[in-house]
Structure 1
Amino acid sequence: MNNITREGIAAELSGIEYPVRINQALSDALNAAGLVVVFGASDDLMEFRGAIYDELCVYDGGTAYVDRLGLLPERENIDDDSDLQAYFTRKPKAVPIEALWCKEDGYSWTYDTTIPHASFEVVDDGYPYCRGIVFALVDVPEVTL
């Protein structure tokens, strides 16, 4: 890994084949640099790799919310009162990343966010599949619980 910036990682990932596989060395480098790679999988998943390692079901599109603590859980999946309290503390400061399903010609997945990011292309059998993004955790709000 030569260029551990969001632009450098996006350049290295551009043209990666679907399904995206982030090897352990790259995952460790992303994590150490505080970078997050976001890409689509199948028709329902928004994948996060690097400083956030998670996924979110976004069938037909949806929105993820992130802060420096990571990906916010989906509200409907929270049962514990202390987890609910943490969610309501984090949500107002969290930044949305919208997963767009088939909203742009030639792509199954694209993403829209105000977080500064660099984009890369995932291909499937040589055709565009997804335009993923790379962002830095320092560019999203810090939250104290």
Structure 2
Amino acid sequence: MTKEELAAQLDGIQYPAHRAITKEHIAAAKEAGLVIVYGASDDLMELDGASREEIGCYDGGIALIDLQGVLPDRDSLEEDDEIAEYVLRKRQAKTIEALWCKEPGYSWTYKTDIPHATFEVMEDAENYCRGIVFSLTELDTLNPA
């Protein structure tokens, strides 16, 4: 499955997206190395599929991601080896910026240099979120951040 195919399957799902994204979608995303990104509430960036994470981002925020998945919050690291690993991973990590109410008609949109496909999450008949789908394997082909 490609990122475009999965995004097409997800396009038009209803909020809350975590209820509309099925176990089959998640299994297919994992198998294909794809990550689904969408917003929840007014303070969460959700990632599902090949990397699963919930990131607090009230009023917007940034996630760092590499081939291993989402980097941990730097402030949560205490051990020297954890910090050293974080520094190494951060050099190759790409960013996904969660934008809260920055585009007319959307609560959540995302900005990233990672090649991706988009899908719409609806709340009743209104746009709620423009989610993205990307491939972890494509991160390896991008220039270092």
Gaps of 5+ in 1: none
Sequence identity percentage: 53
TM-score of the aligned structures, taking structure 1 as reference length = 0.92
Conservation of the 8 A alpha-carbon contact between 1:98 and 1:112 = yes
Conservation of the 8 A alpha-carbon contact between 1:94 and 1:141 = no
Matched, 1:18 2:40: no
The residue number in structure 2 matching 1:49 is: 48
The residue number in structure 2 matching 1:136 is: 135
Q: Distance in 2 between matches of 1:25 and 1:11?
A: 14
The residue number in structure 2 matching 1:102 is: 101
- Offset of 1:37 from its aligned partner? 0.4
Deviations 1:27-55 (A, max 9, x none): 11110100000000000100001000111
The residue number in structure 2 matching 1:7 is: 4
Q: Distance in 2 between matches of 1:95 and 1:107?
A: 24
Conservation of the 8 A alpha-carbon contact between 1:40 and 1:130 = yes
Conservation of the 8 A alpha-carbon contact between 2:121 and 2:129 = yes
Determine which structure has the larger helix proportion and give its number.
2
- Offset of 1:79 from its aligned partner? 1.6
Conservation of the 8 A alpha-carbon contact between 2:6 and 2:25 = no
The residue number in structure 1 matching 2:92 is: 93
Give 3-state SS (helix, strand or coil) of 1:59's partner.
coil
Determine which structure has the larger strand proportion and give its number.
1
Deviations 1:60-109 (A, max 9, x none): 00110100000001111112222111101100110000000000000000
